[in-house]
Amino acid sequence: MRYHNITKDDMLNGDGLRVVLWVSGCSHCCKDCQNPITWDSGNGLIFDEAAKEEVFEQLSKDYISGITFSGGDPLYFQNVPEVTALANEIKEKFPARTIWLYTGYLWEELRGKEILQYLDVLVDGKFVTEKKDIALKWKGSSNQRVIDVQRSLKEGNVILHAE
């Protein structure tokens, strides 16, 4: 897996102060995407042990709420194995930290995927320029949903995350 950046103390991509891992690779190529540089899975840096340690160092800080996976698309086919393994490891090492993930895929397309068991919040759906609304919290367009993953899995239908 490759990535473009690890953002520290982020307040825009989920609740609280977060670490954000911006992964490379996206096949959605949404019009007016805020990060088109991340579309090419060959761009960026290799996510190696040093990068993982940087993420873990940030997650060990008391004031950090959790991690957000963004990009690109963390669920781009090449990213799925490593993002899933990393999310699992984070849940084990930092159970009090929340894990958010932004993807262009829909909840309905992700049912049964292992990654869901490690996520707290999923922001699903492609960014749609015509539905852009800067007043929306944690998403760019009104078609996207901010989903409480664990409640949704438990109840069997989409439960939106409380803002």
What length does the chain have?
163
What pLDDT sits at residue 64? 98
pTM of the shown model: 0.96
For 31-80, what is each residue's pLDDT tens digit?
Answer: 988 888 899 999 999 999 999 999 999 999 999 999 999 999 999 999 99
DSSP string covering 115-161, please? Answer: GGGG-SEEEES---GGGB-TTSSS-SBTT-EEEEHHHHHHHTS--BP
Domains and CATH numbers, the chain: 2-155 (3.20.20.70)
Residue 162, pLDDT above cutoff 90: no
DSSP assignment letter at 47: -
Least confident span in 26-35, 51-60, 119-128, 134-143? 26-35
